[in-house]
A and B are shown apart, each in its own frame.
Chain A
Amino acid sequence: MLLLTGASLLLVLIMGIGLYMKSAPIFEDHSLWELLSASEWKPFKNRFGFFPFVMGTVWVTGIALVLALPLSLLVAVFLTEYSRAWVKRWFYPALDILAALPSVIYGVWGSLLIVPWISERLAPHFVEFSSGYTVLAGGIVLSVMILPLLVSLFVEIFSTVPQELRDASQALGATRWQTAKKVVIRRSLPGIFAAVVLAVSRALGETIAVLMVCGNLPQVPHSIFDACYPIPALIANNYGEMLSLPLYEAALMFAAMILFVVVLLFNLLSRIILYRLKKS
């Protein structure tokens, strides 16, 4: 058992080292800073600027979080502070089903509903033309994907707040909403932060759904109605093709390494926070 556990840990390490080795050739021609800050993506001319992809990922994840965080907090507050037992009994399995849906289904849903909605209804109010395959579409689809995860984490965190604290607050004349806001959420702040970090790392790595709705143009998006090209989509779209080009594989491996390192750091951070939380 110990061996198996150790082996699975080792696997992560091996993957990290593997990615580094595979992406190493690109560092012979380009510096790390140059790769991350350049905007031009022309593999045929040996120009590999990752900035558009990094920005695409940041935008899409950011929008997803902005949309999903307040909503999931409210849902979790409703479920833990207001709802009766039978509501919870129905809601929790529904959340689990939502969380377990394959992401391609979210992608299809996004391209069938969200993309036309943005292009026909929403975007005309703000810009002249938008195909609908945009940063916003990616953000909305991703937010729906991380919502169940956030809600179930928040519900779990809020349930650890002792009932006595709620009683103490309500006994002073606080309403349930005041109690939720000033006691439950306040006490859960480190946990909320950790949950957000987990959800962000999930959003960062999401591939299929964003690939289907983001437009996949290697440009730095200037508004939420521009197309973008998140890193996971870049890898999934191009790996296996055009590998005859010099350094192309290394460039994609470097993209994978960026994701790997960021997600690893995020996860570590959230673990550390959760560990401290439990200890205190």
Chain B
Amino acid sequence: MLSRIFKQIGFSVIKPDTDDLLHADARLEVRHFDLWIGDQPILKDISLQIPEHKITCIIGPSGCGKSTLLKSFNRLIDSVDGVRMRGSITLGGQDILRSNGANLIDLRRRIGLVPQRPCPLPMSIYGNIAYGCRIHGIRGRRKLDAVVRHYLTEVGLWDEVKERLREPAGGLSIGQQQRLCLARSLAVEPEFILADEATSALDPQSSKIVEDLFVKLKEHYSIIMVTHTLRQALRIADYVVFIYMGEVIETGDAGQVFHHPQHELTRNYLSGVFS
């Protein structure tokens, strides 16, 4: 997917010759994936296919491995000491687990991340949005201005911050910061967006705004969300993955998993027997 703005202003972060190749098949698939940290197995034999242009919610009790799975998708898990992985996670035929160097950088660009706690980079609002483009070699004031404006508008932040683009991003409210983080990830044109409990640090109103944004964005992006809040999953999920103790217990369309769970563990979790 190339956003309209990039077409309008005639450039893309992606190299043109690889563009079609990369986007021909953009499925995210996990096959027999195991992960250990030290000697401790964290994820066991995970197999999944993430549907495109939908919101996939990964649910499960604390410490079940949801966030670890999410971090495996863009290999941020690498920064954890003693991590070992087996199996495969592929994005459009490209094996994420065996990617290195330029491949890994390209993969990470294709999979955006919205963190749990908003974390603006130590620079201005403008600098935050332009950061990704700059590291991918896009220069030129006019182009960057257009990108910044487009993505801030996309997350509904433009009118709120257009007068103070050069001010440090740390000065925004928490809710605004989270939307900034979302805009920042969108600005490198990902196909997937990973959101790790992206609304848990927000007040109800900001949380609602971000949720609505996700629903709006799924038209162009595939969104994978880890959430603790079942009610939130119920509100916005199209597809649900339930993980318990490192294993996938049940997957399926949201309606089916929430209203007719097949597995007893899922039923217990949904009815609040454990959390």
Contact = CB atoms under 8 A, between A and B. Distances in A.
Interface stretch (B27-35, B104-112, B215-223, B243-251): B104-112
A171 B81 contact: no
B81 A170 contact: no
Nearest to A175: B105
A162 B117 CA distance: 11
Which secondary structure dominates where chain B touches chain A? Answer: mixed
A168 interface: yes
Nearest to B78: A170
B122 A172 contact: no
A164 B119 contact: yes
Interface residues of A, number: 21
Nearest to B122: A187
Which secondary structure dominates where chain A touches chain B? Answer: helix
A169 interface: yes
A186 B132 contact: no
B184 interface: yes
Interface in A79-117: 84-85
Interface string A168-206: 111111110010001100110000000000000000000
Contacts of B79: 163, 166-167, 170
Contact of A168 (B81, B105, B115, B135): B115
Contact of A173 (B116, B123, B188): B188
Interface in B119-154: 119, 121-123, 131-132, 135-136
A177 to B, nearest CB: 11
Contacts, number: 67
A165 B117 CA distance: 10
B139 to A, nearest CB: 15
Given A173-B132, A173-B135, A182-B131, A168 B106 contact: no
Given A163-B79, A166-B79, A171 B123 contact: no
B115 A172 contact: no
Given A165-B122, A183-B121, A171 B135 contact: no
Nearest to A84: B81
A183 B113 contact: no
B185 interface: yes
A165 B121 contact: yes
B108 A171 contact: yes
Contacts of A182: 121, 131, 135
B37 interface: no
Most buried by A among B74, B121, B131, B181: B121
Interface in A221-279: none
B108 A170 contact: yes
Contacts of B194: 171
B9 interface: no
Nearest to A176: B79
B152 to A, nearest CB: 16
Given A165-B122, A168-B115, A173-B135, A85 B106 contact: no
19 contacts: A162-B119, A164-B116, A165-B121, A165-B122, A167-B115, A168-B121, A168-B181, A168-B184, A170-B76, A170-B79, A172-B112, A172-B132, A172-B185, A173-B108, A173-B135, A174-B132, A182-B131, A182-B135, A183-B121
